Amino acid sequence: MALPIEFITRTRALLGEEYDKLETALQADVPVSIRINRNKGTKAPSTPQVGWSETGYYLPERLSFTFDPLFHAGAYYVQEASSMFLEQAIRNFVCEPVKCLDLCAAPGGKSTHLLSLLPEGSLLVSNEVIRTRSNILAENITKWGNPNSIVTNNDPEDIGRLTHLFDVIVTDVPCSGEGMFRKDTDSTGEWSVANVNLCAARQRRIIHDIWNALKPGGLLIYSTCTYNTEEDEDNIHYIIEELGAEALSIPIREEWQITGPLRHAHPVYRFFPHKTKGEGFFLAALRKASGEVDEITRPKSKNKKDKGKAAPVIPPVVNKWIQEPDSLRMEIFNDTIQAIPAIHYDTWQLLSTQLRIVSAGIRIGEIKGKDILPAHSLALSTALNKEAFTCAEVSWDDAIKYLKKEALLLPTEIEKGYVLVCYQGFPLGFVKHLGNRANNLYPQEWRIRTGYIPEQVLLLTDYQQKR
């Protein structure tokens, strides 16, 4: 890897003699790490744990993720270890149900992590400004299976109009990406001092745009994957001085080898790959000053045209598909049945009038005449009642066929109708079993597209079975 000369000069000035160790580390192999989904009952691998995450694990080599059915089932998420430090901020400062915004959320690492961390009864709104990336975000959150989530596709400025709506805002802001040089060596050619300054200014603008949406006394978590102080310490200092925030200390362990501030004296947390097993990462937790909540965005009263309108008639069979149907509010949109957690229904109504919603809650199914086609998101949801469906446990070969949206042949003794395809107990999706064949209902846009299958496939179960 050829590092930019100006990057070397600037970073050496920050780290002094320690810089040589960083440069050596940047030439080493990239660590592989995952987070398991305990809400789906994923067994932990018998590999070293990430110190600052209860569900994070290092793997000695990269799995064949594309060909691992458990990956597609949302049993685990591939995430860089350093960024899992978000867990410590949440565990230390979030103790009761909250409305949380993950502002720059794609592809979904921090959002899926938050869905596992936030106290029960919380709502997560995950936003991504780029339309195509918001669809990827929605896919990954659907796989994770937690229904207490809404995915939006909006500019930060739009969200900032939701006055004092959120208790917690996580901002993993777009940055110059110095901390990812090792993972993406091509990014070194895009780096420049001018881009660093551009990113730092954009980050401040983003914080200004969404600051109004954070409640007084609320928590802002600011993070980047870069080393320079312009995007890190200087921006934290700016938020404190200009917006009146308070930087919070997060308890850490000495063996984690986390670095403190390189400029100013505020509590911030830096990860360098020559000290911690992970990529470059920076995080700070800030408390917005308390004050009177004199204005808050609330759901508007229903349109007069909607008053008196009968509630949608939900087919009774749908209630059998969900473990706790009374906890959900059902809606029908263009013959699609959508379930929103009842405790978040008012917030969902508000957001649906203010923002572009990509996905919300659980898509239950589609009404087709007298038939109801169960939705793929239902199969992957932790709210699914598996007992309501016939389950077909398939081999790895058939699981890959299913994920490639190829035809499956199920045993003839399996009843006709909608069947839940499972791999090692984890639902992958539905088929419609016709007796002599099964129609594959896996989403076309999610299918495995490659025709190549490696001779040796390394799966998560290869490490789970060694326990």
Residues catalogued as catalytic: 225
CA distance 372 to 366: 6
CA distance 102 to 128: 9
Per DSSP, which regions of 225-349 are E strands?
Answer: 246-248, 269-271, 281-287, 328-333, 336-341
Q: Say which DSSP state 43 is in.
A: P
Task: Give the other-Cβ count within 10 Å of 441's Cβ.
Answer: 20
Which residues, in sequence order, are CB contacts of 98 under 8 Å at separation 6+?
Answer: 118, 119, 122, 123, 166, 167, 168
CA distance 92 to 70: 31
The answer, yes or no, to whether the previous bond of 251 is cis (omega within 30 of 0) is no
Annotated binding site: 104-110, 128, 155, 172
Contact criterion met (CB below 8 Å) for 254 and 214: no
**3-class SS of residue 217:** strand
Beta bridge partners of 100: 124, 168
Annotated binding site for S-adenosyl-L-methionine: 104-110, 128, 155, 172
Our CA angle for 200, 204, 209, nearest 5°, is 145
Residue ranges of alpha helices (H) inside 121-265 are 131-144, 156-160, 193-211, 233-243
CA distance 381 to 322: 9
- Bridging pattern class, strands 438-440 and 426-433: antiparallel
Number of H helices, E strands in the chain: 14, 20
Residue type (1 letter), 389: F
Which residues, in sequence order, are CB contacts of 428 under 8 Å at separation 6+?
Answer: 69, 72, 73, 379, 394, 399, 402, 403, 421, 422, 442
**3-class SS of residue 263:** coil
353 burial class (0-12, 13-18, 19+ CB within 10 angstroms)? exposed
- Bridging pattern class, strands 390-393 and 417-423: parallel
